[in-house]
């Protein structure tokens, strides 16, 4: 090789292995192949963590002051060793970024201090952790399957102060009806879990929310996808088939086409409106995943109460 302008050993190796004569001859399809991953692009199959970290980093770089405050108030986010980047000295992971965005959306429409909150399907409890660290909620109820309840109970006990943890009630699915016969919730939440349930189960939960709650927040996919290049259908065809059949929104769409996603937003809002008395107060795309939508609903009686209260206050204030 040329010793004045020649390549490093690393580049020489890339040329030998990837930027070969044969690969160069394949102009019609070279851009998503190894030759190009050694030119201007990192191979997505081998760089999943790099992409995730880049996504987190970009979110952190654009986080508002208010959301930085929300994030910093959540102690012990490192428990469980999440994939993390550091921004302005602060460790940041994807789950709590999402939780902070969700809290921001909800808090724009619902008074959370003093609220009795119900979350259906809490996973390990990131939303509960975020809300209890930022708001003075009265009680936080979690309904979940037994294994997840064990996970969230163990996790939340280890990350929260004792007095915060004491506000949480864990309810297994077989105790829901008896435990909540008389309980009224200010806010019910479902994040990333109605889409994995049977449609009838979702309707049963929505009926319960209709009866027992004043507000409802949901963040979930607007449809299904079949693009195997996204995850290599790594868990096998059987799991793909199962996933296609869960939830209320089962249209298969190109989830990376914003018009296709937006066209399904009205169906999302209709599918998750808990009942005829409910109106959608806000709905929007829920970044970063292209096909997630979010909405806050309020029961009309609640809106009338709020309006009534406003009128009463205005009358009181008038001289």
Which spans of this chain sit near ligand SAM (rule: CB under 6 A)? 120-123, 126, 143-145, 148, 173, 191-193, 196-197, 201
Residue 85 or residue 118: which is nearer to ligand SAM going by CB? 118
CA–CA dist 182, 83 (Å, integer)? 41
Kindly state the smallest distance separating residue 157's Cβ from ligand SAM, in Å: 17
Quick check: 70 and 60 in contact, CB under 8 A? Answer: no
Kindly state the smallest distance separating residue 151's Cβ from ligand SAM, in Å: 8
Kindly state the smallest distance separating residue 290's Cβ from ligand SAM, in Å: 17
Quick check: 70 and 32 in contact, CB under 8 A? Answer: no
Residue 205 or residue 278: which is nearer to ligand SAM going by CB? 205
Contacts of 187 (CB under 8 A, 6+ apart): 106, 110, 112, 115, 116, 117, 118, 213, 214, 215, 216, 217
Scan for tokens 């030998």, then name that residue.
16
Residue 178 or residue 316: which is nearer to ligand SAM going by CB? 178
Residue 240 or residue 263: which is nearer to ligand SAM going by CB? 240
Residue 12 or residue 145: which is nearer to ligand SAM going by CB? 145
Residue 249 CB neighbours (<10 A): 23
Residue 144 or residue 210: which is nearer to ligand SAM going by CB? 144
Residue 127 or residue 135: which is nearer to ligand SAM going by CB? 127
Residue 246 or residue 277: which is nearer to ligand SAM going by CB? 246
Residue 194 or residue 278: which is nearer to ligand SAM going by CB? 194
């Amino acid at each position: 090789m040329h010793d004045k302008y020649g390549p490093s050993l690393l580049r020489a190796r890339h040329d030998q292995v990837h930027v070969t004569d044969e690969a160069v001859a394949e102009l019609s399809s070279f851009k998503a192949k190894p030759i190009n991953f050694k030119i201007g692009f990192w191979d997505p199959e081998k760089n999943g963590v790099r992409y995730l970290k880049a996504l987190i980093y970009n979110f952190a770089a654009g986080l508002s002051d208010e959301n930085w405050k929300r994030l910093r108030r959540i102690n012990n986010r490192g428990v469980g060793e999440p994939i993390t980047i550091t921004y302005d000295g602060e460790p940041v992971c994807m789950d709590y970024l999402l939780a902070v965005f969700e809290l921001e959306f909800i808090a724009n429409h619902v008074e959370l201090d003093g609220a009795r909150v119900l979350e259906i399907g809490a996973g390990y409890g990131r939303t509960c952790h975020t809300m209890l660290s930022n708001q003075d909620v009265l009680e936080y109820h979690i309904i979940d399957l037994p294994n997840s309840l064990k996970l969230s109970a163990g996790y939340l006990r280890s990350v929260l102060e004792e007095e915060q943890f004491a506000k949480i009630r864990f309810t297994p699915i077989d105790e829901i009806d008896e435990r909540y016969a008389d309980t009224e919730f200010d806010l019910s939440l479902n994040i990333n879990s109605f889409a994995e349930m049977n449609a009838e189960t979702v309707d049963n939960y929505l009926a319960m929310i209709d009866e027992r709650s004043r507000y409802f927040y949901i963040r979930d996919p607007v449809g299904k996808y079949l693009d195997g290049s996204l995850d290599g259908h790594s868990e096998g065809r059987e799991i793909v088939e199962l996933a296609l059949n869960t939830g209320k929104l089962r249209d298969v769409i190109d989830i990376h086409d914003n018009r296709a996603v937006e066209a399904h937003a009205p169906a999302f809002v209709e599918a998750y409106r808990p009942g005829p008395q409910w109106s959608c107060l806000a709905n929007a795309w829920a970044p970063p995943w292209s096909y997630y939508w979010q909405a806050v609903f309020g029961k009309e009686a609640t809106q009338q109460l709020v309006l009534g209260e406003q009128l009463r206050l205005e009358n009181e204030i008038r001289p």
